[in-house]
Structure 1
């Protein structure tokens, strides 16, 4: 069997998360491009507007590990469950080739900490135990890490507090450590309550000299090198356009809006940026970035995107949308189509829903489009599209 990368877990059949691992990378990219072109056949699209795809590294490209904890407290297993309802089907993935090489030294320390703090892995069938997941994130900017322990309750908090200094001594790069409390017996990754065990609560990342902050319960791209290219491309696409007022909808930690606002303000253009995102944690991070950049007339708010948009009576020059997999949806797409901002920058992690949204944006044409391979070895990809109002609609 010829694999795109060497993975013993795939060869053994232990893990098939990388469904396309048997396809060489050239074939993976070709099939993604063909899929995107087929989806776009129903909208105004010219091949000359299509830019070459942004490629990814094939290994060590992820900045995050989401590890199911199973086994026993003395010998915990960090990885996945082949059967989501059976803790006995655990596969240890500490040597997954997608993770940063630095994680190799961190996982053994975490396993030792689990034993020292008595964090009994949660048993799904018996509905007993405490520790459900460990979520590990690294910043490519300075290699600092964030560690989150997802627990069923707070009962182990005193033992964790007793052992935390030892963990910090062994892992000085662990700048943010927290407990997330998820009491439900359900396939839910995290709960609402977050207990910080470190004074620092955010992990700093930098893309294109733009500081961005990773915080628990806030979305952040998992492929930082491709994400940096994505944000940088958006910045270059809009820097010479006549833009003064912009909305960044589904803004997350503000990556797109901050990149665009910074390049425009560097050209002495008076801009007004409004970023909207439902997650308060993400808004906290975006606001922190704006303050660090000393950007003027920038405001981030935790609101429902559609409700915010429909309540506005001002027309922005540029609307940035970076929705979840469901897309922006018909009501918002039709509203933007009637509002007619001069430009729409659409970043999508699901080209199928994006293509559907584009059919509602009938007043627009595709000016530029580029595929970003954020998720190698799978069928998934990110796509960035610049839409301009059709000349007959101005």
Structure 2
């Protein structure tokens, strides 16, 4: 075994103590003047690692064994923890999780945006730290001939056959167990093999509402290769069973032929029950509740009550008076736009997905809001064709952040205020660096939607520089 006093190389096994966590959740230690990034672990643990890559100034490694626990480590709730890739931090107190997430935000703004001496507010915690998710995507697998249903094994494409999970609801695991028993009773239903690129069962997606008692189950499969559509007919039977035994309000059978392992159906084969779900966001700051409808592939934040805190805080930071023209870029099903509309003169929302815009318009009708206008299409193209000049702009882009051309188009209109919501502090900081020629960061407010993981939502308010 290589010791700390010697040089090390790719393939070496080292014993180290974890010093800190890096943005995104990787653990790190410093050795021989280099930083070693590990795939997992928490500060204070002494661990055995294997070096997988060595560069001039840093190295990468995988954690192979925990030798001794961290002094403040706690016992994880789930027996699958450390094997399943769903949670990273169940062995860390929630207060410590929030401390590290705040540090991630601070590090990104300082290192990438060059924003020094900016106060980072303490993260707004999630109302619940377990059973908080409203959506889970499970994969089908195979283990010695038995079909499995679960999440990916940490760092691999293999499926951990889950028999407990504390991220969604207890009813979720009842449905997972029912689906597992059903598919194992029918030999014609085979699990998809990503390496061989064959097999039928691909994904099980379960979505639940927090406040309206609705549930959508989506089974995503490959093509039926049997005589008489035996596989498709079996899935339809499964849908009826889930409706009868688990009170599922929507069952969708979707087809995916692309080999990329993404839980997205390219074609709908069958729909039983309602075509969409309607959730209610209950705000804590006196704002009226908001009803939001979304379809099977529509984006909706996975933590309902924490989302109400996220959107409510974004609206508060905007300081709307009722006279402003507002833009909501990457508006999804219209959550922020509709919440803002009640305190603005008019709102213009943009989103690339036509189905999301369909839901956004439906949501405007449901909530009796008539001072909003939604457009589907690429944000760059939509902005090129939009003559209005906004006073306030909300942006909530995907993890990759905004395109530089979109940032230029925003700055050309010079809104007084930008409220930037992001699920990735690093790409957010990159975009803020581009905006800094005209805008000053005045508020940074993290909001935690993802307990037990390293992910954090962050809101930054930027004001037009005088």
Aligned ranges for residues 33-44 of structure 1 at < 5 Å?
A: 33-41=102-110, 42-43=113-114
Match of 1:279 in 2: 353
SS of structure 2 residue aligned to 1:374: coil
Asked whether the equivalents of residues 150 and 179 of structure 1 are also in contact (C-alpha less than 8 Å), the reply is yes
Counterpart contact for 2:239–2:272, Cα < 8 Å: no
1:77-226 matches, cutoff 5 A:
77-82=148-153, 89-115=158-184, 118-153=188-223, 155=229, 156-172=231-247, 174-208=248-282, 209-226=289-306
Q: Which has the larger radius of gyration?
A: 2
Structure 1 consecutive aligned stretches of length 4 or more whose deviation exceeds 6 Å: 83-86
Q: Does residue 358 of the first structure (1) align with residue 428 of the second (2)?
A: no
Tell me the residue number matched to 1:63.
134
Shift of 1:96: 1.2
2:389 aligned counterpart, secondary structure? coil
Instruction: State the secondary structure of the residue aligned to 2:251.
Output: strand
* CA distances 1:279-304 after superposition (whole Å, capped 9, x unpaired): 12211221111011111132222210
Matches of 1:33 and 1:292, distance apart in 2: 37
User: Per the alignment, in what secondary structure is the counterpart of residue 326 of structure 1?
Assistant: coil
* CA positional deviation for 1:3: 3.4
SS in structure 1 of the partner of residue 174 of structure 2: helix
SS in 1 for 2:204: strand
Question: CA 1:110–1:334 in 2, change beyond 3 Å: closer, same or farther?
Answer: same
2:308 equivalent to 1:228: yes
How far is the alpha carbon of 1:138 from its aligned partner? 0.7
1:85, 1:125 within 8 Å by CA — same for their partners in 2? no
What is the CA–CA distance in structure 2 between the aligned matches of 1:146 and 1:229, rounded to whole Å?
Answer: 24
User: Which structure: greater helix fraction?
Assistant: 1
Q: How far apart are the structure 2 equivalents of 1:366 and 1:349?
A: 18
Q: For residue 17 of structure 2, what is the aligned residue in structure 1?
A: none
Residue 326 of structure 2 is matched in structure 1 by: 246
Task: Give the aligned CA root-mean-square deviation in angstroms.
Answer: 2.5
Q: Provide TM-score, normalisation by structure 1.
A: 0.88
Q: CA deviation at 1:227?
A: 0.9
Tell me the CA shift for residue 47 of structure 1: 4.3
TM-score normalised by length of structure 2: 0.75
Q: Distance in 2 between matches of 1:4 and 1:303?
A: 47
Q: 5+ unaligned residues in a row in structure 2: which ranges?
A: 1-68, 283-288
Q: Which residue of 2 aligns with 1:255?
A: 335
Structure 1 distance, partners of 2:416, 2:306, is 27
Q: Take 2:218 and 2:242, find their aligned partners in 1: how far apart are those partners?
A: 13
- Give aligned pairs, total: 379
Higher RCO structure, 1 or 2 (CA under 8 Å, sep 6+): 1
Distance 1:45 1:260 in 2: 30
Cα deviations by residue, 1:190-231 (Å, 9 ceiling, x for unpaired): 232123422411111110210112311111111222111101
Point out the more displaced range, 124-133 or 157-166: 157-166
**C-alpha displacement of 1:251:** 0.6
Matched residue SS, 2:180: helix
Unmatched runs of 5 consecutive residues or more in structure 1: none
CA–CA separation in structure 2 for the residues paired with 1:162 and 1:340: 56
Alignment of 1:322-361 (within 5 A): 322-361=396-435
